[in-house]
Amino acid sequence: MNDNLHKERRLQAHRLRLTLLSVANTGLEAAVMLLYVWAGELSWPMWGAFVVACVGLHSVFALLIWTGWNLRLRDPGMLIAQVGAGCAAQIIFLVLVPQLAILFLVGVCVTYIFAMVSFKPGQFTWAWLLAGLSIGVALYLVRDDFRYPAVNGLTTFALWLYFFLAIHQLTTFGSQFSTLRMKLSERNRELSESLAKLEELAGQQRLVERERISRELHDTLLQGIQGLILRFQSAAMRIPDDTLARKMMDDALDQADRIMLEGRDQLAGLRGAGSAPGSLADVLSSAGEELMADYGPQFRFERHAGPRELQPVVAEEAYRIGREALLNAFQHARASEVRVELTYGEDELRLLVRDDGSGVDPQVLSDGGRQGHWGLFGMKERARRLGGRLTVREAEGSGTEVELVVPAALAYALEAPGAAEGLVAWLRSKRSSA
């Protein structure tokens, strides 16, 4: 649902850019017409009428898209309406101001180019015929009002034929472009589905392997340690309470219990890492709340923007990195509060784990980790595999910050690119294979 909303926002931004380009195009045409006003070839009222009719028309379309009103229509892009209204306005002013006929004929061709963005192949033929015949009628109506040298019926016909064929060339190119755009969209959709299936299968395989490893660790290592702890507890009960040996034994058993708890947490993380891609915020929040109940420091979770659908491997590895950072903060930082911030940015996915504890030894930060401990090294290795960046630094005031940043192109689930992006990618592939 949220991913569809993001796609619609991007599409709206694309529509607005196209419409603003139309506004800029008619604005440039109005600026050229000012030269004719200055030369006395065009009156100010007629120039003002053009600005209101043409520039104002496209500005209204831009306003409708900017406010989101266009989403109520069957054709939210309103491109057919914009192309038709733009061409009609240019032809009407061709009749009203025949001395600027060339300018308005070029305006029709430029307006027609925008049809390539959205028209389907079958729509180009009737659009070409309609525009061509309309130009022919307009030129016939103003045949006696041209102010160009050697203008007669034959030259007027030749002028019409030239623009008729020019629009036909645009039609041919536009039809081919539209066909290619539709094929690229279909191929991109198929590729997206195939990649999603591959990611799903790979994720299932990784989950099965993690379940096997966690089960073997539980059945062998943890069960064995638990048995040893029970035997040492039985032996400790035989030692008098007020002796030094009993105190040392109790301290060792307490440390063993903490190790067992940490081991169970790690196994829970190993089994839970295969969570659904779209639930990264939920699993991190749940992990923090569970650790708060076990260790005491307050936990706060903040999500900014989104959520966006993530690539399965990104969601999995980001969860593993986040949970490892949370474990370190709750177990070793002696913090009063641990905070997680998850930001679904336009350019990057950002995960920040912050505590207000005692901080990290500067020597550990400079070495990139503590010798003999896998935690920090493992987090950095996971970040590198994602194509992301992991930063561990001292927090402002006190404590530690662990920040993971993954570029949006790698973090978010693949979206079918638009026609322009698809065309560029296709041309690049052709060039590289040549």
Q: What is the mean pLDDT of residues 338-362?
A: 88
Q: How confident is the model at residue 1 (pLDDT cuts 50, 70, 90)?
A: very low
Measured from the Cβ of residue 50, the count of other Cβ atoms closer than 10 Å reads 24
Give the tens place of pLDDT for each residue, 49-81: 989 988 888 899 889 888 888 888 887 878 778
Say what the pTM is.
Answer: 0.44
b/e code 143-181 from CB counts within 10 Å (16+ = b): beebeeeeeeeeebeebbeebbebbbebbeebbebbeeb
135 and 71 Cβ atoms separated by less than 8 Å: no
pLDDT of 415 over the 60 cut: no
User: Alpha-carbon distance 418 to 172, whole Å?
Assistant: 21
| Architecture field, domain 275-434 | 2-Layer Sandwich (3.30)
Contacts with 410 (C-beta within 8 Å, 6 or more apart), sequence order: 311, 314, 386, 387, 388
How would DSSP label each residue in 192-253?
A: HHHHHHHHHHHHHHHHHHHHHHHHHHIIIIIHHHHHHHHHHHHHHTTS-TTSHHHHHHHHHH
84 and 92 Cβ atoms separated by less than 8 Å: no
Task: List the domain boundaries for the chain.
Answer: 2-191, 275-434
Could you give the percent of the chain with pLDDT greater than 70?
69
Tokens (6 digits) for 279: 């639930």
SS3 335: coil
Q: Tokens 């109005």 appear where?
A: 30
Q: Tokens 């650790």 appear where?
A: 291
Q: What is the mean pLDDT of residues 194-214?
A: 70
Tokens (6 digits) for 40: 């006395």
User: Alpha-carbon distance 138 to 133, whole Å?
Assistant: 9
